[in-house]
Chains A and B, each alone.
Chain A
Amino acid sequence: MPRGIKDEVAILGMGCSKFGERWDMNAEDLIVEAVEECLNDAGIERSQIDAAWFSTAIEEQHVGKSGVPLAVSLRLPYIPVTRVENYCASGTEAFRGACYAVASGAADIAIAVGVEKLKDTGYGGLPQRMRGAVADMYWPNASAPGSFAQLATAYSAKHGVKADDLKLAMAQVSVKSHENGAKNPKAHLQKEITVETVLNAPMVAEPLGLFDCCGVSDGSAAAIVTTPRIAKSMGKQDIVSVKALQLAVSNGQEASHNSWDGSYFMTTRRAAERAYKEAEIKKPRDEVSMFEVHDCFSVTELVTMEDLYLSEEGTAWRDILDGFYNSDGQIPCQIDGGLKCFGHPIGASGLRMLYEMYLQFQGRAGARQLADPRIGMTHNLGGFPHQNVSSVSIVGRYDA
């Protein structure tokens, strides 16, 4: 295994727009909102940025293709801007690009910016899109909730968990995230909900009801990264560094080979194994202080607990019902409210997760602040359970 980039990259500053139905904002405006905060936090000028990575997924809905929209929005001084897209994990891809540029020495300071303006379609849910000339001939007529709902039927069947028990645990996933989101002024949804509300909500894709699905919103988030040495030379204290960045991409085995049972993410397990190795974490259930997962749907979060090796296979639903992942539990999850409360402006989400980790390490998370977090993890997933990309990032205090 390669040596990785543990502690070679530090986060110099971060920013995050208010997420929500930003009817009065273009994507370009949201970018500026996140980047202004990010630049102020880092204490640098735009002219000090050597290179930029820009993530959007459904660019035809808002900014269009290429790195140009970012360069224009920020009037960047003709520096390299790379636009990245990797399904719903695009935000973490921008971060990876910026970190690798710094770790390689190609850039001293790099910025990652993600944005998505979803609320210009005229309807709820993610925009309907073509999937390519050949895929459109044989892929099913599926929505995102429909694709992820299948995890629940397969998980129930594999582990012998009754549908009602699973539905209850899934409800608790959403109730917990809303509890956390209610304390976050930047979240789209800031209201607590009850288990009854979740269980009685209209069915979107069986067994996922409305409150098993994350919101759809507009938003942007940004990170400026550099080396720990430069960060120190700029007088930064409480430095947050990158411990691991791993990505695993399906090669079609889940979709076309009968070795996969449909109840878990093959990709997340591979990415998590490699990330723990890169970060030198032996016992994740004991060592991880907090984490943000890609809770596009409640059941996604539930099975991801197992794929990240935090809950034993077949037991995440019990850990969830036991409050293990609540803000006062052993490993708080979705402390900021998660995709559930922030919604999922695709290109921004991975960076938004890192933003919460960063705030927590710096003791700036307000009402959500945890006591002395040392290692944080983010999990950013894109695609469908049977064909996806899964990103696992570990960040922490530089001295951790």
Chain B
Amino acid sequence: MTALDRIPRGARGVAILGIVVGLVGLELALPPLQVQAAAVPVVLGLAAAACAIWALTREERKLGIWALLVAVVATAFAIWVQGKSDTSTSLVVNSGLFAATLVYATPLAYGALGGIFCERAGVVNIGLEGMMLTGAFFGIWGTVWSGHWAIGLVVAMLAGALVALVHAVFSIHLRADQIVTGTAINFLAVGVTGYAFIDIYGSNGTPPSIDSVPSITLPGIESIPGIGGVFGSLNLMIWVVFVLLVVTHLLLFRTPIGLRIRSVGEHPRAADTVGIPVYRIRYACVMLSGVLAALGGAYLSVGFVGSFGQNMTVGRGFIALAAVIFGKWRPYGAFGACLLFGFASGLADRLQSVAGVSPNLLATLPYVLTLIALVGLVGRSRPPAADGQPYVKG
């Protein structure tokens, strides 16, 4: 296949063109260009919408709807920005927003990668939230106990694996309903971490200054305007999640192990027939998902906040689950969803302080988008065929 063949043609190409045009219209309205004429984004938005409709009427449903969404959102945002002064816009949209996006997206990404492993192997994991919370607490506990963040992360991973082992034993060997078990994990995690937190640290909370995960400063990149503000100084765990993302994709889709994991999730009987150990792979994947989710929680406590509070994950595990579904059980797709949800959180912070937009309203965005994805408006999400079904040998 030559490079030329890879350029999308026809309706698909037009839809992509529409998305690009819509984004250009948005970019023109934002600093540093900031074209102060509403006509420009409106014209470009209309062009994008036209592309979208052209594509929609020619059977390119998925990308067409995306183009339409981009056209509407970009145009509305560009018009809204028109009346604002130069400073207030740059307060909202700057490199800090993209750095905040990465900070918000990272715990979700850890959880989502864990969720992908678990569900790709055919075990539904509603307990991601509880596993993240467990990691958040035991990460802090290990760090305070040992005085070193790395040991804290190891303790968090062990605790996450242990909780995941409970989920695995009950849902694989005892064949309990995986949704019930996941719900139980969420209850148990809240209770156990809350009990241990009060029992160990009392009402004063965790110690004020603990060893936290360092940031990696890249001297060359830091000074570049724009990119430097985003990637110049990032927490080590953010870089790790980038690596894990690529490794997960390669492992799942480019190795024999990944093929086995997916076959166990799609058709365990067939996998068993050709000698793939279904139970062993499911156990490994569930525990790996506990380890990854716990790392996500530990990023919140040890990596970011530097303390623990009761039930501090407040639904992030469920957003990670939403990202898995929104990203169609694929690592890059789920990571894209995490970035989108992280961007919404970062934007919510800024819009509240600058424009008084309710952060609560923006907080519903991940869940609304996931509902839309479930209905199939922008490419219906389909889980692995054997997801949630216990496998009986024999």
A and B held together in a complex:
no
